[in-house]
Amino acid sequence: MQNLTPVFALVAREVKRFQKIWLDTVVSPIMSMILFLAVFGVVSGGRDVAGIPYLAFVYMGLLTMTMVNASFSNPAFALVIAKNVGTFMDLQITPVPPWGVGLAYAFAASIRGIITLLIALLATVWFIPISGVANPLLLIVSVVLIGVAFGMLGVIFGMYAKNFEALTFVMTFIIQPMIFLAGTFYSIKQLPGIWPTVSLFNPMHHAVNLVRYSVTGYADSAPMVSLAVMAVFAVAIFIPMQWITTRNLKAS
């Protein structure tokens, strides 16, 4: 059986790394979320979506967004920094296999995403009209799955990008549109024409849908379909992650 110590050590190293810069990695996204909530709290004016107070509805979207951003940016920025300061060589010379490097960064990203989510939750839940969690088990499974999947996406772009400009481009033109067009701030049922159908092809929609359903019991689309889509997304994204990691660790 393969010795997994190198993979676990890399996970631990990455967790330690983001703990060292917790102001950037954990506090900043929570501040953004608090500001979003303040704005939405003021403008929602007591409206609701399908019987759920709008603030509670958007809260689930914001929590998911905060977690996805944290999970994606953790490996993406860590790898670009590693390339720039030279620590990428640590990954190349140590016997951590390419799949192990990719998954270690993705799991560490997932841990950062979950920690960020929990702290954000503790900091803000007191002001949100939510009575409890409708489906705790599904919430746990969903959160882990979403963290790992978007962590792997972060690994892909971190391996691909040579500098921070490239990553900022990806965040602005890929991740942010995915978040804003996912039903984070609205129900996709409110969208006109084919757009509700188009949204179903956005994995971010299924991430938000799963978290929202797990907590409030409300879903824009079938939650089990969302779970299946996230699972397929995670498995499918492993393949390009493995390819690009292998290519980066050992150049031809």
Partner 1 sequence: MDALSVSHVSKTYRQKKKGAVPLQALDDVSLTVKPGEIHGLLGPNGAGKSTLISLIAGIIRADQGKIEVFGVDVEKETEKAKVLEGIVPQEGVYEMAFTVREVLYYFSGMYGVPIAERNPRIDKALEDLALSDKADERARGLSGGMKRRLMIAKALIHKPKLLILDEPTAGVDVALRQKIWELVRRLRDEGTTILFTTHYLEEAEQLCDRITLINHGRIIKEGNLKEIQKEFSKNVISFELFDRNVPHLPNVTPEGSEFHYPMKELEADMQAIASHYNGNLKSVRSEAASLEQIFLTLTKD
Residue number with CB closer to partner 1 (17 or 139) = 17
Q: Residue 148 in contact with residue 51, Cβ under 8 Å?
A: no
Is residue 134 near partner 1 by the rule CB under 8 A?
Answer: no
**Chain centroid to CA 38: how far?**
22
Per CB under 8 A, the list member of 28, 32, 44, 87 interacting with partner 1 is 87
Instruction: Pick one of 46, 51, 95, 192: the residue that binds partner 1 (CB under 8 A).
Output: 95
- CA dist 66 → 76, 100, 170, 198, 209 (Å): 15, 26, 17, 23, 15
User: Is position 6 an interface residue for partner 1 (rule: CB under 8 A)?
Assistant: yes
How many residues of this chain interact with partner 1, rule: CB under 8 A?
27
The neighbouring-strand residues paired with 52 are 49
- Measured CA to CA, the distance from residue 96 to residue 89 in angstroms comes to 12
- Give whichever of 8 and 195 is closer to partner 1, judged by the CB atom: 8
Q: What angle do CA 32, 170, 119 make, to 5 degrees?
A: 30
Among 47, 84, 90, 140, indicate the residue that binds partner 1 (CB under 8 A).
90
Of 16-75, which residues contact partner 1 (CB under 8 A)?
16-17, 20-21
Which residues, other chains included, contact 85 with Cβ-Cβ below 8 Å and sequence gap of 6+?
A: none
**Which window, 92-100, 129-137, 172-180, 228-236, contacts partner 1 (CB under 8 A)?**
92-100
The C-alpha atoms of residue 238 and residue 223 are separated, in whole angstroms, by 23
Contact residues toward partner 1 (CB under 8 A) are 3, 5-6, 8-10, 12-13, 16-17, 20-21, 85-87, 89-90, 92-97, 249-252
